[in-house]
Amino acid sequence: MNNNDTIFALSSGHGKSGVAVIRVSGDDLYNLFLQITNRKSADTRHAYFANFRDTSGDLIDQVIAVYFAAPHSFTGTDIIEIYSHGAPAVVNKIFEYFRDMGGRMATPGEFSRRAFYNNKMDLTDVDGLAALLDAQTDAQRKSALASMLGGDSEIYNAWRHQMIEISAYAAAILDYADDELPTNIGDTIRKKTKKLYDEISTAISHHAAVRAIRSGFNIALVGRTNVGKSSLFNAILGANRAIVSDIPGTTRDVVSATLDIGGYMVNLSDTAGIRRATDTIEKIGIARTKSEIENADIIINVQSAKNKIQIPSHAAPNTIYVINKSDAAHTTPNIRGIIYTSAKTGTGIKKLITAINKKISAIANTAESSVAVNARTRGLLSDAATELNSALNAPVENYDIFAEHTRRAADAIGKILGTITANDVLDATFSQLCLGK
Ligand SMILES: Nc1nc2c(ncn2[C@@H]2O[C@H](COP(=O)(O)OP(=O)(O)OP(=O)(O)O)[C@@H](O)[C@H]2O)c(=O)[nH]1
Ligand SMILES: [Mg+2]
C-alpha cells in the first residue's frame, strides 16, 4: 500500500497564468531537489531561486523551488514544489524532466490518497477538501473548510469510540459477575445507545440542509399560468432569461439559473404554469414542474393580484407566498407572511429577495454543528442508526445481540472515516478530486 514512487502534477489551474505550481511527491527527493536548484545542501521549507535546467543542461525556466521533508508535508512523503512561469510550454518541459528522472504523472486525487495512507487525512477530510475545491460561495467555503480541518472526523471518532465502549461493556455483562461491573451497567449502556441513536438521526435529518449549502438551495417559482412567474424570475436575476408573454402557458420547460443570495448558492427555477393542459408538450412541462416542487428546498408560490387569492390557513413551512401584479390591484391588504410584488414596476422584489435570504438562513442554521452528510456517508450513517435501533430493540438481557449490533454500528462509522474501507470506496472518494490534489 505504501508505495511512494515519484509522482508529479500541475497543482495550479491549466492554461496560461502568471505562475504555475508543480508538485512532486515521492520517497527521498532531497538529491533531486539539490540537482534542480544546483546546490550542495538545502533546508526543508525554504524557498530557493533556481535556474532550472533539463538533463542536457539547457535552461527550462527560472523558478522558485521548495523542498518539504517527510513526514512534514501534505502527503507525508517528501515533496518538491516548483513555482515556474505559467506557460504551457514551460510546464510541459518540467513534466518531461521529471519523467526523465523516473517520475510519472499523478492520477486525480493521488496526492490526497497518499496523505490518507500516510495518516495525514481521513476520508471525511478528503470529502471536505473535494467540497472546498468546488466551493463557489462563502457558505460553501466555510462548511467545506470545517470538514477538511477535521471537524467531522472529531464527531465521528467520538461516536465510534462510544459505540466500541458500549459493545465492550455489553459483552462484559455476559462474562463477568455483577459485582465486578459498574452498577446498573445495563441501563447505562442503553441510555448511551439511545443518545447516540438520537444524535445520528438528527445528523441524517440535517442532510438536506448540508446538501443545500454544498450544492445550492433549489428554489422554484410555482403557480398558475400567466401570474408572472417568468417576469419575477427575470426580476430576481436582473436579466431577461425567461420568455414572458401574455399568452397563458408560455413557459413549458424548466428554466434555471444560479445566483448568490447572501453568500449562499441558489439554483432558481422558473416552471411551467399549472393548469389543466390539453397540449402534450405542456403536459410534460407541468409534470416537470411537479418534480421541481419535490426537489425544492424552498417554493415561491406565485399568484396574481388580478385573480382570487388562495392562501392556506396552515402555510407550508418552506413556502413563500407572493402576490404579483400588485400594480394592477386596487388594494394590497397587509396579510402576515405575504409579499406583494410587481415584476412590472419592480415593487417588492427586494423584499422577496430578503424573504428568500431569511428562509435560507433558517435552513442553513440547522446544518451548523452538524456533520456534513454527503451521498457516501449518508448510507453508512443510516446503517449505524439501524444497528443502534436493533440493539435497543434486542430482548432485555440478550447482551450478546446488543454487543453485536453496537459493534456493527461502530464498523459503519469506521467506514465513514476510512478506518475500515473497501478499495472501491477509496477510488470513488479520491476520484472526485482534481489532478495535483
Ligand atoms: N401589470 C403587471 N403585469 C405583469 C406583471 N408581471 C407580469 N406581468 C404580465 O403578465 C403576463 C404573464 O407574465 P409571465 O411572466 O409570462 O407569466 P408566467 O406566470 O410565467 O406565465 P406562464 O409561463 O404562462 O405560466 C405578461 O404579459 C407580463 O408582462 C406585473 O407585476 N404587473
Ligand atoms: Mg412563464
- CA distances in angstroms from 92 to 25, 104, 163, 202, listed in the order given: 18, 13, 51, 50
Residue 228: inside a domain, yes or no?
yes
In a shared domain, residues 198 and 225: no
Residue 251: inside a domain, yes or no?
yes
Residue 138: inside a domain, yes or no?
yes
**CATH code at position 17:** 3.30.1360.120
In a shared domain, residues 235 and 184: no
Ligand 1: lining residues by beta carbon, under 6 Å = 225-231, 244-246, 248-251, 273, 324-325, 327-328, 342-344
Query: Ligand 1 pocket: which of 221, 222, 226 to mutate (most atoms <8 Å of CB)?
Result: 226
In a shared domain, residues 223 and 340: yes
Q: Kindly report, residue by residue over 47-58, the tens digit of the pLDDT.
A: 999 999 999 999
Where does the pLDDT of residue 225 fall: very low under 50, low under 70, confident under 90, or very high at 90 and above? very high
**CATH code at position 278:** 3.40.50.300
The pLDDT of residue 208 is: 80
Query: 219-242 burial, b if ≥16 CB within 10 A, otherwise e?
Result: bbbbbebbbbbbbbbbbbeeeeeb
CA 12-13-17 angle, to 5 degrees, is 95
In a shared domain, residues 50 and 131: no
Minimal CA–CA distance to 4: which of 54, 52, 66, 73?
A: 73
Q: Looking at 131-215, which runs of residues are DSSP E strands?
A: none
In a shared domain, residues 192 and 250: no
Residue 201: inside a domain, yes or no?
yes
Which of 59, 74, 106 corresponds to the end of one domain? Answer: 106
Rg of the chain, C-alpha, whole Å: 29
**CATH code at position 145:** 1.20.120.430
Which atom of ligand 1 lies nearest, measured to the CA of 274?
25
In a shared domain, residues 60 and 173: no
**Distance, CA 355 to ligand 2 centroid (Å)?**
22
Q: What residue owns the CA closest to ligand 1's atom 14? A: 228
In a shared domain, residues 70 and 156: no
Q: Are strands 217-223 and 264-270 parallel, antiparallel or unpaired?
A: parallel
- Give me the mean pLDDT over the 209-217 stretch: 86
Ligand number with the minimum distance to the CA of 343: 1
Q: Kindly report, residue by residue over 294-334, the tens digit of the pLDDT.
A: 899 999 999 999 998 888 877 777 899 999 999 998 877 77
Instruction: Give me the number of domains the chain comprises.
Output: 3
Residue 226: inside a domain, yes or no?
yes
Q: Kindly report, residue by residue over 243-257, the tens digit of the pLDDT.
A: 999 999 999 999 999
Residue 38: inside a domain, yes or no?
yes
**Residue recorded with cell 522558485:** 64
Cβ contact 123:416 at 8 Å: yes
Residue 289: inside a domain, yes or no?
yes
Which of 77, 106, 135 corresponds to the end of one domain? Answer: 106
Distance separating alpha carbons of residues 81 and 23, to the nearest angstrom: 5
Cβ contact 67:30 at 8 Å: yes
Average predicted confidence (pLDDT) for the chain = 89
Residue 82: inside a domain, yes or no?
yes
In a shared domain, residues 54 and 137: no
**Distance, CA 257 to ligand 1 centroid (Å)?**
19
The pLDDT of residue 430 is: 67
The pLDDT of residue 232 is: 98
- Domain that residue 414 falls in: 126-206+372-431
